Amino acid sequence: MDGRLSGVIIAAGKGERLRGAAGGLPKPLVRVGGETLLERQTRVLTAVGADPINVIVNAETAELIREAGLKLPPKLAIMVRDTPNSMESLLALGERIPSGRFLMTTVDAVVAVSELQRFVTEAFSCMDSTDNSGVLGVTTWRGDKHPLFAEVASDGGLTRLGGEKGRLVTAGVYLLSTRIFAFAAEGRSLGLDALRRYLGFLLEKGTKLAAIELTDAVDVDEGDDLRAAQALASRD
């Protein structure tokens, strides 16, 4: 690993399913372990060596940050944009990401720092020894209502995203090359409307992606997930 790694946080969604359990707050401002999810993601990305860190939030979240006087780390560069979907959030951030590799998380992917560090180390090693354009973190499906199932070959190569069942699902953690943005215009022309669809499209185009299994990760979508994330944070 050569240490050159920028960070990206996708946090522009509305998070409607979690609002009832989070006092009406948008996901980036929901607190886990005494800090907002946005603060936590910034901290853990910084802890594993990501710099600079770019985040995209929507106008509502930006206004609430301003009203609350929330002090965010100076290395965090915020893009405010009401994107229609997560793919457009990624492509918007692609305008700012330095050429090379970047570590990306969704704002609701809660992973221990030690586990994220292991992922980064193994993902760099994987990309250094192959022509993979990225590595996705995956985890065991625990009954999430809207999972993105991932099929992984014995050599760790990602063979398929999607489907109605499986053992593994994506965990909201990615180490990617900026080469993936070469297909942005084509993805838009096809009307793709989600990050998961864009990743699946990359596979269809022959882009090589790999997967690394995470042992402890929580995707915070609903109240039960929030409790699980609090428990993970207490162990971190």
Q: Which domains does the chain have, with CATH numbers?
A: 6-235 (3.90.550.10)
Residue 70: predicted pLDDT: 87
CB 9 within 8 A of CB 41: yes
**CA end-to-end span of the chain, whole Å?**
24
Count of C-beta atoms within a 10 Å radius of residue 68: 10
Mean pLDDT in each 10-residue stretch from start to end of the chain (236 residues)? 80 80 84 93 95 96 93 89 97 94 97 96 94 96 89 96 94 97 97 96 96 93 87 87
| E strand residue ranges, the chain | 6-11, 31-32, 35-36, 53-57, 76-80, 101-106, 109-111, 134-140, 150-152, 158-161, 168-177, 209-213, 217-219
- pLDDT value, residue 21: 66
In Å, how far are 50, 85, 99, 178, 226 from 192, measured between CA atoms? 29, 9, 24, 19, 29
Interatomic CA distance for residues 28 and 219, integer angstroms: 13
Neighbours of 37 (CB within 10 A): 30
Q: With CA atoms as reference, report the closest residue to 108 among 199, 223, 229, 231.
A: 229
DSSP 100-146: SEEEEEETTEEE-HHHHHHHHHHHHHHHHHS--SEEEEEEE----SS
pLDDT of residue 59: 97
What tens digit of pLDDT does each residue of 186-220 get? 999 999 999 999 999 999 999 999 999 999 899 99
Give this prediction's pTM: 0.94
- CA–CA distance, 12 with 83 (Å, rounded to integer): 7
Check residue 75 and give its pLDDT: 80
pLDDT of amino acid 1: 41
